[in-house]
Copies of this chain bind each other. A is one copy, B any other.
Amino acid sequence: MFAATEKALEAEISRLKLALKTSQGEDKSQDIYVGNYLLARLEELGVTSMFGVPGDFNLGFLDLVEDHPTIDWVGNCNELNASYAADGYARVKHGSVGALLTTSNVILASFGVGELSAMNGMAGAFSEMVPMVHIAGVPSVRQHTTKPMLHHTLGDGRYDAYTKAAEQFTIAQAILTDAYSAGAEIDRVLSDCVVKGRPVYITLPTDLAYAKTPSDRLKVPLIRVPPPNEAETEAFVIDEIVHLVVEAKGDVVVLVDACTIRHDAVDEVHDLLYKTGYPVYCAPMGKTAVDETYERYGGIYVGSISRPEVKEKVESAKLILSIGGLKSDFNSGNFTYSIPISRTVELHSHWTKIRYADYPDIGMKQLIPKLTAKLEGGKARALQIEVPPFVAHIPEEQDDVITHAWFWPSLSKFFRPKDIIVAETGTSSFGILDVPLPKDSIFLAQILWGSIGWTGGSTLGAALAAKDRNMNRTILFIGDGSLQLSVQELSTMLRKGLKPIIFVLNNSGYTIERYLHGKERKYNDIMNWKWTGLLSVLGDLEGNLSKSYTVSTKNELSELLQSKTFAESNVMQLVEVIMPKFDAPRALQVQAELSGKTNKYAL
């Protein structure tokens, strides 16, 4: 039996056992606190760090967290940064979830405040399919009923305005109100979170955190995979795809995108690729889903923004096997895919599309191994199809100015296997697209949601998850404008003893916006900061937790990148890279031009 199918069947058994426990009532002899039940399930999901800000309504629960043997309370500078950190954690720690704890931030009977500050982070995780659990400490069940005008409330007796807002950006909500149903409710939303790969929301009243609930359910593992594909439909779908491959005479190109990573199909896709030999390309959000040093990998396909040889190869293939696709503007070169539906097969987390036909509930994780078994015979034919090499081209430039054209490819030799490479939306996420990253590295960027400042928080979560997974370094690229949004979280990285390398691209403002509109406008300027003094102010008071550098020339940067002390430093490092105000990476320049056509800013 295929492993993925076996897992799906095992999960079905759990599903039935849990349903039975819910309906039959449970053994009361081993009751535990609802708060501890929740922590036990999070531990089961592999959560080792919880992000958030302490506040009136989570203080009691926080005692349980602080006393938990394997879950560490991180404690962020603010809630938005905390939500970004939980997002970054979940992206690196596949199969686990990001855990975020908020409430209001001051004394007594209050709530709403902290939750709302985190909302942008929740919405980003929702749109980019990141599994995240948002636990909101709320007033005691009794206070919910009497509804006094507490601080942090809207003052009009509405206690559900926040929940209504949260419903917009989460796929499941558990509004816990009694200890009896708490376990089943927690299980329901945590399973949804992992299986569907999107944020969920739990409200935990102060009194309920310490109410007793049966621990019996914990003996049945949480459901972590979708139900099995219906066998007959699945067999039909596989036949249809094989038929198209035969018709295409094996001229197949695989295009891998974000949901492959998010829905845990990376191993299945790798197996498909190695056994079939099909040429493979990634969309920007799928970058590093495929080993970028693999000889059959041709780099990033992003519609008309692609390098010309990639565009030609992908668009001329007779059949495109698109896996985990997420066609947003930035992920598709502003919707410039030139691939007709008649030549496309789309494999998704829980549906399949073959040309014009939809097959609901046929998910890729179980489908791909069976498909691979049918297709591996064609490998010899597939290997004849040429794949353009994906290599970094460092241009010869006469002057010593650090341009984007030179900067990004120059970094390629600096990266190492198992590095986590985080790129802020905009200049950085566009700049790094054309740079091949090492085997087993992980690339993080928030390309669809694109909230500036996201990496300032998510790098913290990514670096913590990297430790769990025994990864190498965490390296962040961020512009000066973006870092100003979430800068305080560098302090938390210092406090947690993390050692990320942070490249701050100092180009005096919002460069990505200058390319769009208002090139010389004051509104795109920002205050210039003393970046090299930042880490000492934010907590490295003795100067032994970090090092900071400024590089203004190609030579200075090259020397730094070649220095072993720098590459293998045992402290956090910040590098301010001075770059020209009006320069930008190639891909961004093309994107901005396309964008300008869509968006009329003036007459």
Contact = CB atoms under 8 A, between A and B. Distances in A.
Nearest to A517: B59
Contact of A119 (B116, B153, B534): B116
Interface in A43-101: 53-57, 59-60, 62-63, 65-66, 73, 75, 77-80
Contacts of A513: 54-56, 59, 106-107
B116 A328 contact: no
A506 interface: no
Given A116-B123, A488-B485, A530-B541, A108 B328 contact: no
Contacts of A108: 329-330, 334, 516, 591-592, 594-595, 598-599
Contacts of A207: 600
B106 A126 contact: no
A184 interface: no
A486 interface: yes
A233 interface: no
Copies in the complex: 2
Interface string A508-543: 001011011110011111111110011011110100
Contact of A537 (B106, B525, B529): B529
A528 B541 contact: yes
Interface string A95-127: 000000000111111101100110110011011
Interface size on A, as a range, is: 35 or more
Contacts of A592: 107-108
Contact of A165 (B168, B330, B492, B515): B168
Interface stretch (A10-18, A24-32, A448-456): A448-456
Contact of A206 (B448, B484, B537, B600): B600
A73 B448 CA distance: 28
A373 interface: no
A245 interface: no
B155 A328 contact: yes
Nearest to A118: B120
B522 A602 contact: no
A379 interface: no
Interface string A328-354: 111100110000000000000000000
A426 interface: yes
Contacts of A73: 522-523
A49 B426 CA distance: 28
A206 B66 contact: no
Nearest to A154: B127
A543 to B, nearest CB: 10
B527 A447 contact: no
A301 to B, nearest CB: 17
Given A78-B484, A106-B513, A210-B600, A449 B148 contact: no
Nearest to A148: B335
Given A78-B486, A119-B119, A148-B335, A518 B54 contact: yes
Contacts of A2: none
Given A108-B599, A451-B104, A533-B537, A66 B154 contact: no
Contacts of A109: 329, 595, 598-599
Interface of A: 53-57, 59-60, 62-63, 65-66, 73, 75, 77-80, 104-110, 112-113, 116-117, 119-120, 123-124, 126-128, 139-140, 143, 148-156, 161-162, 164-165, 168-169, 206-207, 210, 326-331, 334-335, 425-426, 447-453, 484-488, 491-492, 494-495, 510, 512-513, 515-518, 521-530, 533-534, 536-539, 541, 588, 591-592, 594-595, 598-603
21 contacts: A56-B516, A56-B595, A60-B601, A62-B521, A73-B523, A77-B485, A78-B80, A78-B486, A105-B485, A106-B512, A107-B516, A123-B161, A139-B599, A140-B600, A161-B168, A161-B169, A164-B164, A164-B168, A210-B602, A533-B533, A537-B537
- Top 10 A-B pairs, shortest CB-CB distance: A60-B601, A108-B595, A105-B452, A116-B120, A59-B517, A78-B485, A161-B168, A527-B539, A165-B165, A117-B120
